[in-house]
Structure 1
Amino acid sequence: MTDHALQSPPSAPVRFPPGLIFACLALLGVLFLPLPETLPVAGQRMLAILAFAVVVWVTEAVSYEASAIMITALMAVLMGTAPTLADPAQTYGSSAGLSMALAGFASPALALVVGALFIAAAMTHTGLDKRIALVTLTKVGASTRRVLLGAMLVIVLLSLVVPSATARSACVVPIMMGVIAAFGVPLRSNIAAGLMIIVAQGTSVWNVGIQTAAAQNLLTVGFMDKMLGERVSWIDWLIAGAPWAVIMSLVLVALVLKLLPPESDNVPGGMDGVTRSLAALGPMTAAQKRLGGVSLVLLLAWATEGRLHPFDTTTTTYAGLVTLLLPRFGVMTWKDVQARIPWGTVIVFGVGISLGSALLSTHAGQWLGAQVVEHTGLDTLGTLGVFAILSAFLIVIHLGFASATALTSALLPILIAVLQTLPGDFSRVGMSMMLGFAVSFGFILPINAPQNMVCLGTETFTPRQFARVGLWVSAIGYVLLLVFASTYWSWLGWM
């Protein structure tokens, strides 16, 4: 064998991601802008870090986990060498800068996300989520219309007990693929496409309806608590968001039936696959029964927060988590679930909270909010007009984000600062919650939400089909937001 034969083939050159180059240029561009008199140096540096984060997140130049580490390092260096607000002659120091970057990891909102991820992992570990989905589907009937409605009902039920949108879609997708196989239709049929689009977009619809259904909701609650000193309870969020979600669920099913009409509405034996899958699970296990009991108690505790007991959602969630981890009575051990927890999500969430908090503590958020109000004329509009513009902005800007959590981290602190700057007597907590609703509008592009990508991976629909339905869902959903804001939410006192 010759020396030439032993040589490995030349590796392709590693290219520096263009998005990362643009992010660095955005960082430097903001840093070297003339410093406004009303903006502290520390505030300008935080705005530069925010610009870097937004470009990296929009371009997906690096993974979200890698971007979180980069943001942490930038905050440690740039904030550590920045003059303090109290005494410009002194700098924060690298330790204080790093503490600022890691402050989000001490937030109750992050603790709630971690607890919620563990409960979602327990559902997957015991198979209770799959059992709930299969039992629900067996009750709806075999016609395609009933199956589409059944898929939506599964999403609703799992949104109550599985506090992770990605975990819910990962559970439901294999079940729905079994339903498609039982119907004996091609993967590229309208039946298959409609079913998967309902799973993806229905998950986003119910992210609006239930506070614990999505991480961005918990981040929104965390920012409310930090900036406004108030928060919306689980039951108040449900009362506000669930009616909108119910209406939009029916709208979504109707749109799918209209835009992707099923090839047939009656398929003999269409539920056979679901029935066989449920039978294969056998009787309900003791662990599933215990987990079901704990889940119901948690739902009751969340719904009665501040009414029957003084404990917040995070505290009751951790009480349930402790129960699930107890020897003998519990349903899982640390080894059972540690591999099922998306630790990268935890890191991104913690750094996102830190980013938002630092924007406030350096007065960058307040300064940017004041600039938005001054140059857009928002202060001359009524409350409904302000909500219409800010929610439309979030829906449009979401097209550039692959993560609602990243979008919330980057923009919601700024928008809450805008609300604080606006004159007039209106509920800033309620408006913040409603803007949190708009963050979940990831209906148009598959890349706009992880659950969309999970469903796209089944190859049952094309991005064009998804966008065709999603554009209508977004338009109708936005109009319905404005109708609710001017009527129902106003009657509840959230406007």
Structure 2
Amino acid sequence: MLESKSPFKPLHILIGLVIMSAITLMPQLAGLSTAGQKVLGVLAFAVYVWITEAMPYPISAIAICFFMVMFLGFSPEKGTEGKLLGTSKAIPLAMSGFINSGWVLVACGMFLAEAVRFTGLDRRIALNILRIVGTEPKKIIGGTIIVGYVLAFIIPSIAARSAAMIPISMGLITAFNLDLKSVFSRQLMLVTGMVAPITALMVLTAGAPNPFIVALIGSTLNHTITWTDWLIYGGPFAIVLGVIMYILVITLNKFEPLPGGPALIKKYMEEIGTITPKEKRMGIIFLITIILWGTENWHHIDANTITLFACLLLFLPYSGVATWKELSNRVQWGTLVLFGVGISIGTVLLKTGAAAWGAQAALGNLGLQSMSSAMILTVIAVPLIVIRLAFASIVALAALVVPTILGLLVSFNDPNMSVWSITLISSFLVYFSFILPVNTPATLLTYATDTYELKDMFKVGIPLTIIGLGVYILFTHTYWHWIGLI
């Protein structure tokens, strides 16, 4: 998780505290419990400091957790009157995200991601794909996108996938002796960053928000979404978005032939040498993991447990590829803290009734209750994409959006409405981070290479967002309807 160059912004922190205090101290809002109102104040603080990046994300997560403990502890257990809950009982609620199965999946997934990078297996896979597709500019762009999709099954982190691809993309630019601002350099790096969040739509374990969404739906609605289910629901949509991105990049830009050709890829392959024993073991671990993920409906072992088992294999004798110290020093623990608190906020918002109340206040006047599932998804799509522009963290956005939508749909109490599927499909929009580099660490990492400019991202990202929205609406009336999702 990236931190801002100026870690703390005192003025914004103060404004966030004032906003939180104003909400928590104002007269009791009708239809909302005391605890619910306090949590809404904490949520407002969280949203403000996340948008303004007033403090590093991990530290903001700790602060949010503390405020939830205090406000919940000094609020009645139920309603607006009665015995206070107490801070000791508030702690399990405020930290519920850290004992959530989704958090386990992300934590173990991050170890797997770092193990792949540690062994160099990611680089070998990427180079082999590029060797197959060729070294013409358009083919390299296409090959880079394909690499992103393949790595989605292997590296369960959006930022990590982007970070794994950047050295390869920069290596190609340098090897071809190209200017960093050349058309090919700019578009290659842009694609390297943008493909990472798109591929997260395809695989349950390819993005931190996915386990959070699945866990929230499971705990609230008692509906299970398996690894294979997610692939079926999100895979075709992710592939279509990737194809659209490729078409936009190659049609909106004119590429010059590259010097060197296949010899450069061959040179890189010679540099990394033959496959090492650690790479072989890492490959076997992931092959076993993917097979177990894909056959969950048969053996009934959930993806979280499978990933935990795969993580264990990383350290055992004979199967291991690294020591605990080697991998733990590479894992971004701050991201795990933020993710855990994000789940906690969602859980507390739902349990206190704040999510349903807030959703009703924000979206209740749109008449969603009388609409079909497809129409609900259509109506809320644009507001969600607009909200997306304000967030630099996909996890933070999911922590706000998913409980809100879920709470609203639950409040309708409509037995004919598929609450879980509408929540799931609407959550796909948190990955529409194609316009601003700061909307996800993946594009921020590539933007930091000083290759492409903001106008380059606008050129591809704006039409990709508009066309992608159209495809999203089309999917609600076709594919997702055909497979019985809505």
**Shorter-chain TM-score tier:** over 0.9
Map Cα deviations across residues 382-417 of structure 1 (whole Å, 9 max, x no partner). Answer: 222210122322211011100000001122101111
How far residue 372 of structure 1 moved from its aligned partner, in angstroms, is: 3.8
CA distance in 2 between partners of 1:26 and 1:315 (Å): 40
Q: Which residue of 2 aligns with 1:164?
A: 157
Q: Which residue of 2 aligns with 1:39?
A: 32
How far residue 261 of structure 1 moved from its aligned partner, in angstroms, is: 2.1
Matched, 1:270 2:270: no
Deviation larger for 66-75 or 362-371: 362-371
Answer whether contact 2:33 2:80 (CA < 8 A) is retained: no
SS at match of 1:61: coil
Q: Which amino acid aligns with 2:12?
A: G
Q: Which amino acid aligns with 1:273?
A: L
Deviation larger for 84-93 or 446-455: 84-93
TM-score between the two structures when normalised by the length of structure 2: 0.95
Report the count of equivalent residues.
479
Q: Which residue of 2 aligns with 1:379?
A: 369
Answer whether contact 1:248 1:477 (CA < 8 A) is retained: yes
CA distance in 1 between partners of 2:224 and 2:194 (Å): 27
Q: 1:413 to 1:282 in 2, by over 3 A?
A: same
Q: Which residue of 1 aligns with 2:334?
A: 344
How far residue 188 of structure 1 moved from its aligned partner, in angstroms, is: 0.2
SS at match of 2:81: coil
- How do 1:445-456 and structure 2 match up within 5 A? 445-456=436-447
- How do 1:160-309 and structure 2 match up within 5 A? 160-262=153-255, 264=256, 266-306=257-297, 308-309=298-299
SS at match of 2:159: helix
How far residue 86 of structure 1 moved from its aligned partner, in angstroms, is: 7.1
Q: Which residue of 2 aligns with 1:471?
A: 462
**The one of 380, 392, 395 aligned to 1:390:** 380
CA distance in 2 between partners of 1:373 and 1:172 (Å): 40
CA distance in 2 between partners of 1:424 and 1:361 (Å): 20
Matched, 1:95 2:72: no
Q: Which amino acid aligns with 1:236?
A: D
**The one of 39, 58, 61 aligned to 2:54:** 61
**The one of 69, 81, 84 aligned to 2:77:** 84
Map Cα deviations across residues 425-467 of structure 1 (whole Å, 9 max, x no partner). Answer: 2322211221221111111100000000111111110012112
SS at match of 2:417: coil
CA distance in 1 between partners of 2:324 and 2:419 (Å): 40
How far residue 138 of structure 1 moved from its aligned partner, in angstroms, is: 1.0
CA distance in 1 between partners of 2:381 and 2:110 (Å): 28
How far residue 378 of structure 1 moved from its aligned partner, in angstroms, is: 1.6
Matched, 1:120 2:113: yes
Q: Which residue of 2 aligns with 1:491?
A: 482
Answer whether contact 1:182 1:271 (CA < 8 A) is retained: no
Q: 1:16 to 1:429 in 2, by over 3 A?
A: closer
CA distance in 1 between partners of 2:83 and 2:58 (Å): 32
CA distance in 2 between partners of 1:126 and 1:494 (Å): 39
Q: Which amino acid aligns with 1:50?
A: L
CA distance in 2 between partners of 1:54 and 1:239 (Å): 32
CA distance in 2 between partners of 1:85 and 1:22 (Å): 30
Residue segments in structure 1 that go unaligned for 5+ positions in a row: 1-13
Answer whether contact 2:394 2:440 (CA < 8 A) is retained: yes
Q: Which residue of 2 aligns with 1:399?
A: 389
Q: Which residue of 2 aligns with 1:413?
A: 403
CA distance in 2 between partners of 1:473 and 1:117 (Å): 29
CA distance in 1 between partners of 2:166 and 2:80 (Å): 56
Answer whether contact 2:34 2:79 (CA < 8 A) is retained: no
Q: Which amino acid aligns with 1:482?
A: I
Q: Which amino acid aligns with 1:432?
A: T
Identity %: 33
Residue segments in structure 2 that go unaligned for 5+ positions in a row: 1-6
Q: Which amino acid aligns with 1:42?
A: A
Q: Which amino acid aligns with 1:392?
A: V
TM-score between the two structures when normalised by the length of structure 1: 0.94
How far residue 15 of structure 1 moved from its aligned partner, in angstroms, is: 8.5
CA distance in 2 between partners of 1:16 and 1:187 (Å): 33
**The one of 391, 407, 422 aligned to 1:431:** 422
Q: Which residue of 1 aligns with 2:4?
A: none
How far residue 373 of structure 1 moved from its aligned partner, in angstroms, is: 4.8
How far residue 356 of structure 1 moved from its aligned partner, in angstroms, is: 0.9
CA distance in 1 between partners of 2:41 and 2:288 (Å): 45
**The one of 100, 106, 110 aligned to 2:99:** 106
CA distance in 1 between partners of 2:293 and 2:264 (Å): 36
Question: RMSD of the TM alignment (CA)?
Answer: 1.6
CA distance in 1 between partners of 2:422 and 2:101 (Å): 22
Deviation larger for 371-380 or 322-331: 371-380
Q: 1:383 to 1:178 in 2, by over 3 A?
A: same
CA distance in 2 between partners of 1:53 and 1:90 (Å): 27
Superposed structure 1 runs of 4+ greater than 6 Å apart: none
Q: 1:427 to 1:16 in 2, by over 3 A?
A: closer
Matched, 1:356 2:346: yes
Q: 1:86 to 1:421 in 2, by over 3 A?
A: closer
CA distance in 1 between partners of 2:198 and 2:75 (Å): 43
Q: Which amino acid aligns with 2:233?
A: A
Q: Which amino acid aligns with 2:51?
A: V
Q: Which residue of 2 aligns with 1:5?
A: none
Q: 1:340 to 1:224 in 2, by over 3 A?
A: same
Q: Which residue of 1 aligns with 2:140?
A: 147
Give 1 or 2 for the bigger CA radius of gyration.
1
CA distance in 1 between partners of 2:375 and 2:301 (Å): 36
CA distance in 2 between partners of 1:134 and 1:62 (Å): 38
Deviation larger for 402-411 or 227-236: 227-236
